[in-house]
Amino acid sequence: MFQKFAKTLCLVAALGAAGAAAPTAASAGDLRATISIGSGGVELVRHRGHGRHWNRGTCTPRHALRKARHFGIHRAHIRGVNRHSITVAGRKHRSHTLVRFARVRGCPVIAYR
């Protein structure tokens, strides 16, 4: 009887220690998660972070401008927008520069002049 109680107590302590350590280790890697123990059992709940999510969905003119400025293009402005691409113009190394981005997730560069 005592051995069964001791084993159960050790199991509960081990699960408690693992549950306490898991959220700390998960949040250290920028993966936010919480372990929830309730009447439905043990459940891992993942939280969405509040980081940069500008590359989700299609490319917008605002996202294209931000990416062009990140590439080092000064005085960046929208030159043209159509269904398939966004053209951003500006200056880099004292010369005129054009960058064309595709209107898909992540705003990939199609052309660079």
What are the sequence ranges of the domains in the chain? 2-46, 61-112
* Residue 18 or residue 39, greater confidence: 39
Residue 1 has pLDDT above 80, yes or no: no
109 beta partners = 101
| The model's pTM | 0.52
Closest CA to 45 of 34, 29, 56: 34
pLDDT at position 27: 45
pLDDT at position 53: 55
Q: Residues 34, 45: contact at Cβ < 8 Å?
A: yes
Q: By percentage, how much of the chain surpasses pLDDT 70?
A: 50
Q: Measured between alpha carbons, how far is 43 from 25 in angstroms, rounded to an integer?
A: 17
Q: By percentage, how much of the chain surpasses pLDDT 90?
A: 48
